[in-house]
Chains A and B, each alone.
Chain A
Amino acid sequence: MTVRFPVSRRALLGAAAGALAMPAIRPALAQGSGPIKVGVLHSLSGTMAISETALRDTVLMMVEDQNRKGGVLGRKLEAVVVDPASNWPLFAEKARELLQVHKVDVTFGCWTSVSRKSVLPVFEELNGLLFYPVQYEGEEQSKNVFYTGAAPNQQAIPAVEYLMSEDGGGARRIALLGTDYVYPRTTNRILRAFLNSKGIADADILEEYTPFGHSDWQGIVSRVKQFASQGKKTAIVSTINGDANVPFYRELGNQGIKAEDIPSVAFSVGEEELAGIDTKPLVGHLAAWNYFMSVDSPVNTEFKKMWASYIKNPKRVTNDPMEATYTGFRMWTQAVGQAKTTAVDAVRSAMYGQKVEAPCGYTEQMFENHHLSKPVMIGEIMENGQFNVVYKTPTAIKAENWSPFIPENANRAKAG
């Protein structure tokens, strides 16, 4: 297997020169006798590298695994890795490079919604195929994207319901803390409408946004403490993304906010993000995902074994977006096998209804809304940086990518 690591701007030049040098081979590749190309569009540097690097490794692992099994349609897979460097406009440039220069058949990529929004027009214009493996705010459905992470009704809403339940502490005041971009803002809009529908007034909701990479959390954390002193049980819902989580949790620990008093539930913090933090002061704080590394299932045991033997570093963990990448990749290979081609339109039709035994221990199915059915799990941070699942849904739940809690979607529901 050859993996190319083109470096930012030079890549275009180099790849263009390569294409010029092999004019005879290039058309043959596009028509399907050479390797099938798998694009990897994840930030390997910048503020999102903390989360996205592991996803690059996951795709490379899946490609290697598939090649060991003989590839797809009798052809080998070849990964093409680019680094969009947590720079949103660069995501669009790199997506175009993958589709036009490298002529990839499928792309696995993006983490933040702002990066997905940035590449979306490119994939639609060039009719590419993107697998997006991260939970997000919904309100989107492109025929060129398969969303293998959770929609709000598969993560955010069940998590808040849990916080309000007796087991979760019966919270009646919610602090919504997030990074300032489209995912936290939309999710919090949905959550506010949901909380209002549950009888929680706007006065009992605190909403705060911070820039990417924010490191000075003392003011916000003490404001949350103050917000919590109003005689009602308070909880934090965090949509903080990237490495800003490290100083945030450090400040929570330093200011002595215990999970028994003010629990926090995070939507973008998994095992990988906790690897850089001293987790002892955080025991009991929560995260909502559709998979945890500690899940006990045969597929997960297999998945963890595969990861350990690929990465050869016992400290590296698995997490939810990695699982979603795994599931998406398996589905794509099944769909390609069924369609007998990598052509985007045929693969798209073959994707609908595909089922995969996912490491989360449930069978996940791709629906025509381009979203997966998924179970919801709530985990508590343990001292070793892993999660202890304290709640999970009995079955996989179908995604509602157009949230009923956003008024504009009422018309869409009628029309659809």
Chain B
Amino acid sequence: MFRLLCLLASLLLIPAASQAQESFEATAAPLAGSFTAQAEAVERLGALGDPRALPLLQALAEGRLQKQADGTLLIAQNGAVREALSGAPAAGPGEVVRINNRVRAALRGALGRLQLMSPEEAVRAAAAEGLFRSRSAENIPLLEQALARETVPAVGRRMEMALAAARLMSGDVATRRAGIATLGASSSAEARGLLLEARAAGAETADGIDAAIAAIDGRLKLRQMAETAFQGLSLGSILLLAALGLAVTFGVMGVINMAHGEMVMLGAYTTVMVQEALRGIPWLAAWSLPLSVPAAFLVTAAVGVALERGLIRHLYGRPLETLLMTFGVGMILQQAVRLIFGAQNREVVSPAWMQGTLTLPGDVTVTQNRLWIILFALVVLGLTVAAIRFTRFGLEMRAVVQNRRIAATMGIRTGRVDAMTFAFGSGIAGMAGVAVSQIDNVSPNLGTGYIIDSFMVVVFGGVGSLAGTMIGAFTLGLVNKMLEPWAGAVLAKIAVLVGIMLFIQRRPKGLFALRGRAAEQ
């Protein structure tokens, strides 16, 4: 209440221009004080409408505001430190003024007020967002004015929401009802929160609020379903990427490769290496992630060739020995990486275009990195299918799989095809590693988390069927994410495993069983 009075008092002071100079300085001084004093000063500066407040508050928000022992405020900009109020160069840097969340929230509202008329579209949008969250009935005239001159529809919509939130705080019932109507037409979870808060505060508009909340809930339900579906697709795309390489080595060649997870891990480490190598070259560094894709493919394919030629080819037709041997190779690779790179996780920087969220129609928000990974998984799947269907290598591969001896009599070098196929599968795993590095920790035991899932997908989808692998991966991802909300992350995973066990009992060959002579061998 006291704060409100202060605010009103300072609003009344604005017309008295002669006093503005003194009152501005007096208002700004507590910025060097306690968090409570800071928050109050920020609110008052925002209400004052003095243009000098903007650089001051921006400096505070960005950690560039400093104070000297006597309380003089300084602003650091481009390496130079100046006195905040007089603009005179300061003798030396002061102590940085720290803020807490309460001050930060106050800053958002104050900056929102000061920047709502900014010529830049993004600044106006952020200002409207800030006012939406800080909501105060005093912002109504300001927002109405800004809304009237706004030309960009997207920013205008945000301002409408901010205006509705401000109206909700008004003392006038009709104004409140107008705000409720606007919020009720949105599908935002935040708006729902505001309405519930307002319902607890006053009873006059309870009926309108209940109707508005019911309307939002209907849309929110749809939106949540869409988001769950997206999360399922995202998990499915990771499973698909991890399993695709295995679908080639295990599904097509029949090699039980327990070192498959380590191929994913090597791909992730290649991403780290490429990123570190390119760090010194600014114009290339932004492209380090796309460049890691071919690099990871080549590195893991090379490891795959060495593994196949050196060890696995001696064990064809002996699945148990192959399993044990590749398991050992996996452990050796893990330990080797641990010795070379250390046991600590490595940091992979996400490029700016993979950060943040994208808002789709209907307010459905999806995270950028997951979206890119889904697209990447589909592209890799497309390339794999194309390579097997339409290239000479794919033709030879299929021939060797169907009948090794006839293929050899036709002049195909079956040993070379085996090596190439294994390299191809390993290379795909390496590309999966690039994607995984964006969402998981890059550590030597990264691969152990993916090997079980990969086998699960391949067996569930049907050994030897790429379509089965794709459908299997997305099915498991979606089922997992739909179970998660009511079973929890741990139980959902167990439920999926149990489900697969039951399914395999009924259909031992998976979703898409191979038919014909090849399957009977």
Contacts and interface: CB of A to CB of B under 8 A. Distances in A.
A255 B440 contact: no
Given A229-B189, A260-B105, A216 B235 contact: yes
B67 interface: no
A388 interface: yes
24 contacts: A50-B344, A50-B345, A53-B344, A209-B488, A210-B489, A214-B489, A215-B439, A215-B449, A216-B238, A216-B489, A218-B370, A219-B489, A226-B224, A229-B192, A230-B196, A232-B193, A247-B440, A254-B357, A255-B365, A276-B345, A281-B355, A382-B63, A388-B100, A390-B100
Nearest to A49: B343
Nearest to B367: A254
Contacts of B189: 225-226, 228-229
A260 B493 CA distance: 33
A140 interface: no
B50 interface: no
Closest 5 pairs (CB-CB, A-B): A231-B196, A229-B189, A45-B343, A215-B440, A231-B197
Interface string A235-273: 000000001001100110111100111010000000000
Interface string B463-492: 000000000000000000100110011100
A101 interface: no
A167 B489 contact: no
A167 B99 CA distance: 11
B221 to A, nearest CB: 11
Interface residues of A, number: 55
Given A50-B345, A260-B105, A231 B100 contact: no
B369 A254 contact: yes
Contacts of B190: 229
Nearest to A229: B189
Residue from A211, A220, A254 whose CB has the most chain B CB atoms within 10 Å: A254
A277 to B, nearest CB: 8
B489 A243 contact: no
Contact of A169 (B101, B235, B444, B484): B101
Interface string B103-114: 011001000000
From DSSP, what is the main secondary structure of chain A's interface residues?
loop
Interface size class of B (residues with CB under 8 A): 35 or more
A383 B356 CA distance: 17
Nearest to A50: B345
B292 interface: no
Interface of A: 44-47, 49-50, 53, 166-169, 180, 208-211, 213-216, 218-220, 222-223, 225-226, 228-232, 243, 246-247, 250-251, 253-256, 259-261, 263, 276-278, 281, 284, 380, 382-383, 388, 390
A260 B104 contact: yes
A254 B356 contact: yes
Contact of B133 (A229, A260, A388): A260
A254 B351 CA distance: 12
Contacts, number: 143
Contacts of B102: 166-169
A216 B349 CA distance: 18
B347 interface: yes
Contact of B488 (A168, A208, A256, A261): A208
A44 B441 contact: no
Given A214-B489, A263-B101, 7 more contacts: A47-B443, A166-B102, A167-B35, A219-B481, A255-B365, A284-B101, A383-B63
A211 B101 contact: no
B193 A228 contact: yes
Contacts of B235: 216
Contacts of A250: 350, 439
A232 B193 CA distance: 7
Interface in B257-278: none
A200 to B, nearest CB: 15
Nearest to B346: A276
Contacts of B309: none
Nearest to B100: A390
A45 B488 contact: no
Contact of B108 (A168, A222, A246, A260): A260
Contacts of A167: 35-36, 100, 102
Given A167-B102, A216-B439, A45 B449 contact: no
